[in-house]
Structure 1
Amino acid sequence: MGNRGMEELIPLVNRLQDTLSSVGESASLHLPQIAVVGGQSAGKSSVLENFVGRDFLPRGSGIVTRRPLILQLLNGNTEYGEFLHCKGKKFTDFDEIRKEIETETRRLTGSNKAISPIPINLRIYSPNVLNLTLVDLPGITKVPVGDQPADIEYQVRDMIMQYICKENCLILAVTPANTDLANSDALKLAKDVDPQGLRTIGVITKLDLMDAGTDAREILENRLLPLRRGYIGVVNRSQKDIDGKKDIQEALEAEKKFFLSHLAYKHMAQTMGTPYLQRILNQQLTNHIRDTLPAFRSHLQSQLLALNKEAEEYGQFNPDDPTRRTKTLLKLVQRLAVDFEKLIEGSGDRVDTVNLSGGARINRIFHERFPYELVKIESDERKLRREINYAIRNIHGVRTGLFTPDMAFEAIVKKEISRLQGPCTKFIDLVTQELITTVHQCINKLSSFPKLRDETERIVTSEIREHESKCREQVLLLIDIQLAYINTKHEDFIGFTNVQQAYSQSNKKTVPGIAGNQGVAPPSSLIVIRKGWLTISNIGIMKGGAREYWFILSAESLSWFKDDEEKEKKYMLPLDNLKLRDVEKGFMSSKFVFAIFNTELRNVYKDYKCLELACNSQEELDSWKASLLRAGVYPERVAVDGQGNGTPENFTDPQLERQVETIRNLVDSYMSIIYKTIRDLMPKTIMHLMINSVKEFISSELLAQLYALGECSVLMDESPEQQQHRVEVLSKHAALKEALAVIGEISTSTCTTPLPPPVDSSWIQPSSLNPPKHSGRPVIRGHAPPAPRVPHTGHNASPAGFQRLAVQHSRAPTSVPRRHPPAIPKVK
């Protein structure tokens, strides 16, 4: 088998056709084949019946062929037919074959002349045929008839294009001679997908029905609308002959006499007729298979590689074997644990470059969202000072206090610490939601087993909620611990002695209340904190409208450039006295917007009081806010004003005013310590009590809880969709392996028959200096129009085929054809 000659290529491709029929239409369309294309009543069916020598195709008016018919002709000693959907049944009566085609067509399309792209596979063995594979397609129609769909024209066109657009498909364009060739639907479709005419073979039918005094000589000599592979004329039986049951062998004899006796065709009678067409198709299909088989092998191998892993998994699962079910359950839970850990901890394999994974999103919550939520705690400076004032007065009572009471400091600090419960609780909620989303992403891979997926989701979600509750209790306990004891001996606490000195040395931008209150150290002014694209969205249309710029944020300024090359700077905005606030998203806008404004009511940019900057996503917005926070630009009503005292209470007692200022600065210093502690402990607490615990539960306890349900066999029941998908994958995998095995039996290195030379197209490019070279024996071909005389180095052609052409070569060239054909590549 490994040294098989090329003459057996077509039978082997027929085996591929049968093998891949279980794969689906998409794969079988890549097989080398010949598609028969033509209008209604163009004579397609008659040509195919002439090949077989029998009447076996449905006939009638309108669309008769309503499903593609894959016709495999195989030379054999006996004559019978086989359908792929009736395996093992031989049809020796060809009338029965016609009835079976009609029955199978109606089974899918009904009786309303509708069409279906699902093919019918018919194999015919006969001593009268050459090995050939053709696809008979529905005739091209224009107007729906009866109860046909209104878009029947487009349905037929789409079905035809599915076949002929493949490079592996030769196109047999059938056109009746009694119509204008320029209006041929078949040639037009072929021209759309094969503009060079490399894959198209023209067949001209009904030559005997042309008007008196007219002929198709110019067409058959390939001079009117030239094709690389030329045209072949045939004469089929008329409707009267068919109704009169005229024998096809008699019709073939009549066809031969017609060409020999017709004045316009007798010089080319040897290259016309159904027998010659069948030989040419056999020869050209064989060569085409040889040329396209390597690419087809690569196509099958790529499909097989894509299915290997999935098919291996399905092959190990036997729904009727309890042991296999248990083993599959164990593997699925183990894979779930590995996938969850990779999404949380990060992994270098199969990196998602489109979306952030669970671990990356949680990291963003840790280091961007949570610090920003702390900053967003509204601290009304006027209200805070009033509270300090009242606390001092209430502690002194009727007496006039000489010293600043530390009890007022402790009362205010405890109140500020209690306010941390809101951001901390929101922090836990955000992480919990990301954990549940990540678990769902992993559990969705269990969709093949709906009950297993549902139970796993219920168990893991319950576990997350349980750990969330424990984590929430622990976080509230941390806040209670901070409330239990105010440590004024902390090494970072400014203390009463240094409070006045620290306050006097503060500046407008980085007063201790700001830098310390949020636990954010001011970065160096030389450090670039962030770069990225932002859109300035509040510029009017008259001034250019919204524009996107490249922004650079440093510790001292916010600059923007025309593009990311950073050559053309548009503006540099100092960060002094700047704050930011959220801007509500517009109804029709897809952008996420925040605004920057000046606390002293100065213009921020040109004549604009604020600068509205837009991002493409919420993640990008949160990241920019966190970066501005690092640069010292805080949300509205968080940072104190330039003097650090907002709109102060009207004091009449200078001593009381001094005491309020002292406690205010002590509160800022101590809360700086609290913020730093909370920012450090919160991610650690959540990581320990939630994330690591859930990860450990999935890897070590989930399987035990699934077993504890006592329904392991029920858990592993497949959904009907999954059962069908598994069967399809395994069938497709087996078919692809068998197809590659079939191709492996073919050796393209040995040829027992010489390859036919390509159609002579040198006349199409008169400027070409390289004549086509002939390999092997000369083969009789259709005449091409005259061409300039050029040297010829090939073998001498036989007089029967080229006498007329040789005489024409000795004369001057004739006029140029009416339509220039497309450029043809040189043939080696």
Structure 2
Amino acid sequence: MLDDLIPLVNKLQDIVFNTIGSDTIDLPQIVVVGSQSSGKSSVLENIVGRDFLPRGSGIVTRRPLILQLINTCPPTASDDIPPPHSAAAVHEEPEWAEFLHLPGRRYNDFAEVRREIETETSRIAGLNKGINRLPINLKIYSPHVLNLTLVDLPGLTKIPIGDQPTDIEKQVRNLIVEYIAKPNSIILAVTPANIDLVNSEGLKLARQVDPSGKRTIGVLTKLDLMDQGTNALEILSGRVYPLKLGFIGVVNRSQHDIQANKSLPDALRSEEDFFRHHPAYRNIAHRCGTQYLAKSLNQILMAHIRERLPDIKARLNTLMGQTQQELAAYGDHGVGAVAGTTQPKGLRILQLMTRFSNNFIASIDGTLSEISTKELCGGARIYYIFNSVFGNALDIIDPTTNLTVHDIRTAIRNSTGPRPSLFVPELAFDLLVRPQIRLLEPPSQRCVELVYEELMKICHSCGDSELTRYPRLQGKLIEVISELLRERLGPTSNYVESLISIQRAYINTNHPKFLGGAGAVSKMIDGKAEKKRKDQTTKVKAGVATNGTATPEPEHPIPGGRTLSYPRDTGAVNQDLPNGAVPSLNGPMAGSATSTLHTSPNARDSFLNHFFGNDGTSVTGKALPEPNFTGSFRRPDVSNLSLDDSASIIYDEPALTEREQMETELIRNLITSYFNIVREIIQDQVPKAVMHLLVNFTKESVSNRLVSELYKEDLFDDLLHEDESLAQERKKCEHILQVYKDASAAANGVYEFEVTYFSYSLGALSDN
């Protein structure tokens, strides 16, 4: 009854290999390993009793050969049938072979089996003596074999021969380790007896994966070729290299016997005579030879199957669960089939559209169930754009980076017309500050573009595994939302552009945060005074002050505790401002002047009038010297020029006078102050506009837009067309799941047999 265990596992192996093409369950099997010319092929042919394996020099076995031996007439009692390959055995029943890659075709001639192995090996592994991991599955049906599952692997080699790859040794070792490392594999290590056991490559590899020797069987070949006076009795007795499963000695046909076409039955009889009459082995002859090896392998494999059966069942249950989850991800059969029932197509489309739009909205709101932990995305990314990207882009803008001193002076001169100005004209400030506000437009438009791109990214990533079944529907959903986003991009960009234009349309110098004229002058004066103090401190420390003391520049006190300093070379002397004369600020100076200096309604002259002097005079009443243009102004010869040639007149720009320096610095401070006000407004208004016109509008409109565009009965069939590759994957997954179910049923059959056999054994013991 125990003989049924191996056929059941063979059935399990067929089920798995026929569908998956690899041993994902790690089924119990015997793996044959050994070096080249160690006698592996001869051992397998002796067990089968047929010549069917390729022979030759170098690596002959270049693909794993999974050999299943199936007894076609199992005995009812062990005493009723002669042992396989014995002299009493007569080949009355037919024997044949089948390949897994040629289902349904029987080979009665084993010479054809050899040729098919060679052909199939060359087809996959090529003709250059290289190896390949894809196995060849061969079944041999015979009444003279015991049920076994054997795996023949390429022999270990050291040196590449001919066209073999240079790393052929490494490839072979990796392939062998891949098979023998599996816990459910029994290792059959074949070693020639005429070499030192410590040089056995098969035993070395076996020890790496099975250091305790619990699942390794040693086979000694070529015992008849040992030197005279030597024998392997110590090894076969287990006293040299202990293995739990022991060593078994066999004698194969020699090369001379093969060339002389000595039959396998004759070779088996010669082997039996050798052990029976050899003085060293005759006492253990019953534990030597191919017949004993086949019987031992059969019993060991059955015991190993019984031991590993619970693990096999657990592995099958795990694989079935994993495959069931994969199949669920592909969805059920039919359009919109859920839980075994087929929904109307319209309802199915509505469900998918609703799920898609909900995922889109949840990605923006940050409530999506699956949120990335690797990078910012969705609403968090939009927040980052507003606060970090856009905010930093505005902060790094220098309000006057593109305004040179020449630009400011030219603007002041152009705004005064043909007459000299008494103070800094307001028109110059307006003329210069408006273009600077436009510097805020490029980063603002870029902010809109970045948010738009992020919404497009969300749109392409908010589908789920169920929606991937219908690529046309998914494409249409993305297309509709993308079109909605493109529609909103234009109005949003236009509105942001309008925000900049609004700020340029009216320069509000009455803004509470605007520095104003008095503030700008005070800031300028404070800066000069601070610089002068630092310079004087530096001179004192350097010991260069005149008469040992630093002489301060003359200053004019200003009401409120401030003083006004001016250069010595103007000829001005220290003089206080008139009592009660508080300066008024005209033009851009009037902005926030009241917060610094209170104007008097009785004051007739402005602060700048007092500062620069009336009609070119200083506050002392003395005339300011006219700018000296000698050497800096070149008068061109205009006697022969017409009015149209006036543009070609070249003037050398004179150096800035001290008044011009103060005017340009004053204008620069005012521009910076007002630009900062506008920058703060834009930094607040642009994100709000983008959220209202682009983000929130899209969130509120996405569901209605999807329904209006796609919920049309004439589109249902096209939208719910399944992806062909996905349908094939689901079909393959269903087939694999069925394979695992069948394998599980086979494993349960083995388990039920074990229970029955155990009950039968207990009954037999109780009867005795």
TM-score, normalised to structure 1, is: 0.63
Q: Which amino acid is the alignment partner of residue 169 of structure 1?
A: S
Q: CA, structure 1 residues 423+196, in 2 after alignment: closer, same or farther (shift >3 Å)?
A: same
Structure number with higher strand proportion: 1
Shift of the alpha carbon at 1:281? Answer: 2.2
Question: Partners in 1 of 2:154 and 2:731 — Cα distance?
Answer: 31
Post-superposition CA distance 1:343-364 (Å, at most 9, x none): 5443564443333335443332
1:676 corresponds in structure 2 to 680
Alpha carbons of structure 1 residues 211 and 102: separation in structure 2 relative to 1, 3 Å? same
- When residues 722 and 200 of structure 1 are mapped into structure 2, their CA distance, relative to the original with a 3 A threshold, is same
Secondary structure at 1:87 match in 2: coil
Change (3 A) 1:29 1:701: same
Q: Deviation at 1:671?
A: 3.2
What are the Cα deviations for residues 664-718 of structure 1, in whole angstroms up to 9, with x where unaligned? 5554444333222222222233334344455667655458657889888777778
Summarize deviations over 1:246-304 as a string: whole Å, max 9, x none. Answer: 45444434333322322222232232222332233233333433444444445444444
Aligned to 1:107: 123
Structure 1 pair 351/388, CA: closer, same or farther in 2 (3 Å)? same
The yes-or-no answer on 1:137 pairing with 2:153 is yes
CA 1:309–1:272 in structure 2 vs 1: closer, same or farther (change >3 Å)?
Answer: same
Q: Which residue of 2 aligns with 1:426?
A: 446
Q: CA deviation at 1:737?
A: 3.7
User: Which letter does structure 2 place at the counterpart of 1:117?
Assistant: R
Over 3 Å counting, the alpha-carbon distance change for 1:325 and 1:8 in structure 2 is farther
Tell me the equivalent position of 1:191.
Answer: 207
Matches within 5 A, 1:332-351: 337=357, 340-341=360-361, 343-347=363-367, 349-351=369-371
Q: Is 1:416 matched with 2:436?
A: yes
Shift of residue 420 of structure 1?
0.8
Pairing partner for 2:184 from 153, 165, 168: 168
**Residues 1:344 and 1:70: Cα distance change in structure 2 (over 3 Å):** farther
Q: What is the DSSP-based 3-state SS (H/G/I as helix, E as strand, rest coil) of the residue aligned with 2:189?
A: strand
How do residues 559-708 of structure 1 correspond to structure 2 at under 5 angstroms?
650=656, 652-653=658-659, 657=662, 661=666, 666-692=670-696, 701=705
Structure 2 vs 1, CA of residues 506 and 307 (structure 1 numbering), >3 Å: closer, same or farther? farther
Change (3 A) 1:57 1:319: farther
The one-letter amino acid of 1:57's match is L
Shift of 1:489: 5.3
Name 2:216's counterpart in structure 1: 200
**Counterparts in 2 of 1:748 and 1:297: CA distance versus 1, 3 Å:** same
2:25–2:312: 8 Å Cα contact kept in structure 1? no
Question: Are 2:360 and 1:352 aligned?
Answer: no
- Compare CA radii of gyration and give the structure with the larger one: 2
**Cα distance 1:228–1:503, how it changes in 2: closer, same or farther (>3 A)?**
farther
- Find the counterpart in structure 1 of residue 71 from structure 2: 75
**C-alpha distance in 2 between matches for 1:241 and 1:329:** 76
What is the deviation of 1:176?
1.6
Work out the CA distance in 2 between the residues paired with 1:40 and 1:335.
Answer: 63
Relative to 1, partners in 2 of residues 1:62 and 1:657: Cα closer, same or farther, differing over 3 Å? closer
Shift of 1:173: 1.0
Conserved? CA contact 1:29–1:163, under 8 Å: no
Q: How far 1:10 sits from its partner (Å)? A: 2.8
Q: 1:373 to 1:284 in 2, by over 3 A?
A: same
Distance 1:104 1:658, change over 3 A: closer
Quick one: which amino acid aligns to residue 64 of structure 1?
A: V
Query: Match for residue 731 of structure 1?
Result: 735
Query: Quick one: which of 490, 498, 505 aligns to 1:469?
Result: 490
C-alpha separation between the residues in 2 aligned to 1:28 and 1:324?
40
Tell me how far 1:476 sits from its aligned partner: 0.6
Secondary structure (helix, strand or coil) at the match of 2:140 reads strand
Counterpart of 1:680, as a letter, is D
Listed one character per residue, the Cα deviations across residues 731-767 of structure 1 (whole Å, up to 9, x for unaligned) are: 333333433443344439957889xxxxxxxxxxxxx
One of 8, 12, 21 as aligned partner of 1:12: 8
CA contact (8 A) 1:76 1:127 kept: yes
Residue 19 of structure 1 and its aligned partner are, at CA, apart by 1.9
**Aligned equivalent of 1:44:** 40
1:479 partnered with 2:483: no
> CA 1:339 to 1:494, structure 2 compared with 1: closer, same or farther past 3 Å?
same
| CA separation of 1:320 and 1:449: change in aligned 2, threshold 3 A | closer
What is the alpha-carbon distance in structure 1 between the residues aligned to residue 206 and residue 450 of structure 2? Answer: 60
Aligned: 1:376 with 2:382:
no
The answer on whether the counterparts of 2:25 and 2:315 sit within 8 Å (CA) in structure 1 is: no
Amino acid at match of 1:687: M
Q: CA separation of 1:45/1:370 partners in 2, compared to 1, >3 Å: closer, same or farther?
A: same
Residue deviations 1:428-449, cap 9 Å, x none?
3333444445555568988888
Larger fraction in helix:
2
Task: Please tell me whether the aligned partners of residues 65 and 137 of structure 1 are also in contact (alpha carbons under 8 angstroms).
Answer: yes
Letter in 2 for 1:418: R
Q: Does the 8 Å CA contact 1:17/1:28 hold for their aligned counterparts?
A: no
Change (3 A) 1:436 1:507: farther
Find out whether 1:269 has 2:285 as its counterpart.
yes
One-letter amino acid of the structure 2 residue matched with residue 672 of structure 1: N
Write out per-residue CA displacement over residues 794-824 of structure 1, whole angstroms, 9 at most, x where no aligned residue.
xxxxxxxxxxxxxxxxxxxxxxxxxxxxxxx
Q: Distance in 1 between matches of 2:210 and 2:525?
A: 86
**What amino acid is the match of 1:366?**
F
Task: State the TM-score, normalized to the length of structure 2.
Answer: 0.67
- CA offset at residue 374 of structure 1? 0.8
List alignment gaps of at least 5 residues for structure 1. 510-648, 755-775, 777-828
Q: Is the 8 A contact 1:75 1:127 kept in 2?
A: yes
Aligned to 2:630: none
The DSSP-based 3-state class of the residue aligned with 1:202 is strand
Quick one: distance in 2 between partners of 1:382 and 1:248?
A: 101
SS in 2 for 1:232: strand
Please say if residues 318 and 325 of structure 1, whose CA atoms lie closer than 8 Å, have aligned partners that are also in contact. no
Higher mean alpha-carbon deviation, 719-728 vs 475-484, is at 719-728
- Is residue 235–residue 255 contact of structure 1 (8 Å, CA) maintained in 2? yes
Counterpart Cα distance in 2 of 1:184 and 1:211:
18
CA distance in 2 between partners of 1:28 and 1:491 (Å): 78
Shift of 1:172: 1.0
Q: SS of 2:63's equivalent?
A: coil
Given that 2:399 and 2:671 are in contact with CA atoms closer than 8 Å, whether structure 1 keeps it comes out as no
Residues 416 and 382 of structure 1, relative CA distance in 2, 3 Å threshold: closer
Is contact 2:62–2:131 with CA below 8 Å preserved after alignment?
yes
SS in structure 1 opposite 2:275?
Answer: helix
Say if 1:320 and 1:665 are closer, same or farther in 2 by CA, change over 3 A.
closer
What's the Cα RMSD here?
A: 4.4
1:312 to 311, 328, 352: 328
Which stretch of structure 1 is more off in the superposition, 360-369 or 716-725? Answer: 716-725
Does structure 1 conserve the Cα–Cα contact (< 8 Å) formed by 2:336 and 2:343?
no
Please give the per-residue CA displacement for 1:440-462, whole angstroms capped at 9, x wherever unaligned. 55689888888777777766655
Alpha-carbon distance change, 103 to 470 in structure 1, aligned in 2, over 3 angstroms: same
CA contact (8 A) 2:480 2:705 kept: no
The amino acid that maps onto 1:474 is Y
Distance 1:414 1:112, change over 3 A: closer
Q: Please list every run of 5 or more consecutive structure 2 residues that lacks an aligned counterpart in the other structure.
A: 74-92, 531-654, 763-768
Q: What is the rounded CA distance, in whole Å, between the counterparts of 1:738 and 1:265 in structure 2?
A: 47
> 2:242 maps to what in 1?
226
Of stretches 72-81 and 433-442 in structure 1, the one that deviates more from structure 2 is: 433-442
Contact map agreement 1:29 1:166 (CA 8 A) in 2: no
Query: What is the CA distance between 1:493 and its match in structure 2?
Result: 4.9
Displacement after TM superposition at 1:233 (Å): 1.1
Give the one of 337, 362, 367 matched to 2:387: 367
CA 1:153–1:327 in 2, change beyond 3 Å: closer, same or farther? farther
Q: SS at 1:747's partner residue?
A: helix
Residue type of the alignment partner of 1:132: L
